[in-house]
A and B are shown apart, each in its own frame.
Chain A
């Protein structure tokens, strides 16, 4: 297969949300000696932009978005080691650990944010729902997250967002991560009250918020107050 065809296969696999096909096409691209940045930009990134646009226009829905995000991850899992070996700066915007806090089994909002973040180039580690605070922190440490994204859909579970931030403060680890919060009962006032770094009202807001936080991180800065994207 010619280079154009292989990149076309990567593009199509991500567009169609075919995880296995995306991994295989990307592997074929690397075996054919193609430039990984070209595969990324003309293949997966191009496709995922279109997926994002279609979702924003309600031409496709959450399942398609999730599947394309998974396909994008499969592509990146092949490309990243190659980029690292080449010494090419990694294109991922940042590493985000996301989950729904303890006592809360709601997943749809978290899945939407997770998929949109991945579609926008973030490396997303999704730890699922009903995640105890200590597990959140263990996982954040393990994956060396830049941002903790805490979702809650109940007023009784939103308290765990506060608990996690308080634990980070008390254990003198608050500077290690940015912490952002969202979900049904979560408001900008709540985010400010508990000392979160940011609040996103919608999934699109969450993406903008994380982009801004990573911009601040790259400039070795931090928000002076809770950033609100609403």
Chain B
């Protein structure tokens, strides 16, 4: 069984490869070979965003599996390749959990490995780390956590700590970690969900905040978030987090994203890369469950037809061929207070549920670009849609997507960014303002007419 020490040794002594060569030559060449070998070239069908050909999905899995153990991951700090043998990969996948129980007491939840079209309801982790002002952060989180559709609590990202800007790689990141955990735990007590499972640390993507706050002192965070850059890469920052989480008795959710049009090339290449990177999270980052997003370089999201197809294809391929727990993200780009955002979220979450994702983190309100553009209502709505699609067939999913996607796809390159928490919510009463609430109600009724009954 491969250990984190083996990984650290390989990150230090593995075969040398320049990052630029990895990005522009090694990974693209290996992916192109797999696409050719398994007959995957031009198999993306934008008219059918949820693939239904099981043989094709299994060939995608084989391609991604081979890519994982033949190529490995590059540690970008040392420019050394962390190689994982096929046997080590197999062992890691066999040892990976097929269900994970998180949280304590009445707030405890279990995340299951799912299959495509599975009737088991997936879990919703919310919100994504959208940047928020310190003075409204707790109120916003309170609104999100108060709804039991949200199973696992993440947090918005604090942009200041005690009024000071949080600069990456400075002690302010260490400080913001402890501030985030303290404020979060206070919110959990306030909404009477003290045992609600949590994922941290969100206010800093470097390792500093996690080293400063993950299960330090009397605090407890269930899951550590370990992320690394495109494509099939790791870093000492990610490995720092993994080691610290293991030391502190936390579970690890880790992921490396893939990008259509980026180093992985076409949608088919991005799907293969995403499968490989998801598999490698288990041996390389000691993941309890794997994340690993999908993006489209053209609009920095994944709710266009090719983005949904690649997201669903990689998820289905993994769900059909492994028993691991998979968490994915709907990378929406529109903002709260717009119908396009609600259609985008619905399309993405239908794809994920039907494809067999165990969990999703979101919503990515306004593409994560605008401070305070996040409200509790889209968190509740996303969770409800995500769970409502459980048990739906892929054909039914495609029928609904065919109605949803034309409603927003032309907006993706220049998405409407919507409004802020303060503009769309009564911050005092913690209730959505009538116009925003009515908009969600209307879209929910539209979804019901399409065949998806969403209960909020």
Which residues of chain A have a CB within 8 Å of any CB of chain B?
58, 61-64, 66-67, 70, 102-108, 111-112, 129-130, 154-157, 159-160, 163, 184-185, 187, 230
Known: A61-B262, A155-B131, A230-B414. 19 other contacts (CB 8 A): A58-B266, A61-B261, A61-B263, A62-B262, A63-B265, A105-B229, A105-B235, A107-B23, A107-B229, A108-B229, A108-B230, A108-B263, A156-B205, A160-B167, A160-B168, A184-B300, A185-B131, A185-B368, A187-B369
- In whole angstroms, what is the CA distance A82 to B106 when docked? 76
Report A26 CB to chain B, min CB distance, Å.
21
Tell me if B165 is interfacial: C-beta within 8 Å of chain A.
yes
Interface string of B108-137 (1 = CB under 8 A from A): 000000000000000000000001000000
A sample of 8 inter-chain contacts (CB < 8 A) reads A62-B262, A102-B169, A105-B237, A108-B262, A108-B263, A154-B205, A160-B167, A184-B369
Cα distance A93–B131 in the bound complex, in angstroms? 37
Residue with the greatest number of chain B CB neighbours at <10 A, chosen from A61, A67, A70: A61
**Chain A residues near B368 (CB-CB < 8 A):** 184-185
Q: How far is the CA of A154 from the CA of B297 in the complex (A)?
A: 17
- Report Cα–Cα, A109/B159, bound state, in Å: 22
Residues of B close to A107: CB separation below 8 A: 19, 23, 229-230
Q: Is the CB of B369 within 8 A of A156?
A: no
Which chain B residues lie closer than 8 Å to A67 at the CB level? 24-25
How many angstroms from the CA of A193 to the CA of B371 in the assembled complex? 14
Q: Which residues of B contact A185 (CB under 8 A)?
A: 131, 368-369
Q: Are A156 and B168 in contact (CB under 8 A)?
A: yes
| A residues near B230, Cβ cutoff 8 Å | 107-108
Task: Collect the chain A residues with CB atoms within 8 Å of residue B398's CB.
Answer: none
A101: nearest residue on chain B (CB-CB)?
B168
Cα of A107 to Cα of B76 in the assembled complex, Å: 11
Which of B243-298 touch A at CB < 8 Å?
A: 259, 261-266, 269, 297-298
Please indicate the chain A residues that have their CB under 8 angstroms from the CB of B19 in the complex: 107
> Which residues of chain B are near A184, meaning CB under 8 Å?
300, 367-369
Q: Which of B25, B157, B371 contacts A63 (CB 8 A)?
A: B25
Q: Which of the residues B23, B24, B157, B262 comes within 8 Å of A155, measured between beta carbons? A: B157
Partner of B173 from A61, A64, A105, A156 at Cβ < 8 Å: A156
Contact of B206 among A61, A103, A112 (CB under 8 A): A103
A155 proximity list for chain B (CB < 8 A): 131, 157, 159, 371
- Over the window 160-181 of chain B, the binary record of Cβ atoms lying under 8 Å from chain A Cβ atoms (1 yes, 0 no) is 0000011111100100000000
Give CA–CA (A130, B269) in the complex, Å: 28
Question: B195 at interface (Cβ–Cβ under 8 A)?
Answer: no
From residue 200 to 245 of chain B, which have CB atoms closer than 8 A to chain A? 203-206, 229-230, 235, 237
| Chain B residues whose C-beta falls within 8 Å of the C-beta of A66 in the assembled complex | 20, 23-24
* Chain B residues with CB below 8 A from A105, complex form: 76, 229, 235, 237
How near does chain A come to B113, taking the closest CB pair, in angstroms? 30
What residue of chain B has the Cβ atom nearest to residue A158's Cβ?
B168
B430 at interface, CB cutoff 8 A:
no
Q: Does B416 have its Cβ within 8 Å of any Cβ on chain A?
A: no
Establish whether residues B167 and A63, one from each chain, have CB atoms under 8 Å apart when the complex forms. Answer: no
What residues of B have a CB within 8 angstroms of the CB of A157 in the complex? 167-168
Known contacts A102-B169, A155-B157, A61 near B265 by CB under 8 Å: yes
Chain B residues whose C-beta falls within 8 Å of the C-beta of A61 in the assembled complex: 28, 261-266, 269
Which A residues touch B166, using CB under 8 A? 156, 159
A81 → B minimal CB distance (Å): 25
Contacts of B263 in A (CB 8 A): 61-63, 108
Check A111 against B265 for contact (C-beta < 8 Å). Answer: no
**Chain A CB within 8 A of B2 CB:** no
Instruction: Answer whether residue B370 sits at the interface, using C-beta atoms and an 8 A cutoff.
Output: yes
In the docked arrangement, what's the CA distance between A155 and B132, Å? Answer: 10
B170 contacts across to A, CB distance below 8 A: 103
- Measured between C-beta atoms, what is the minimum distance from A170 to chain B in Å? 17
- When distances are taken between beta carbons in the complex, the residues of chain B under 8 Å from A160 are 167-168
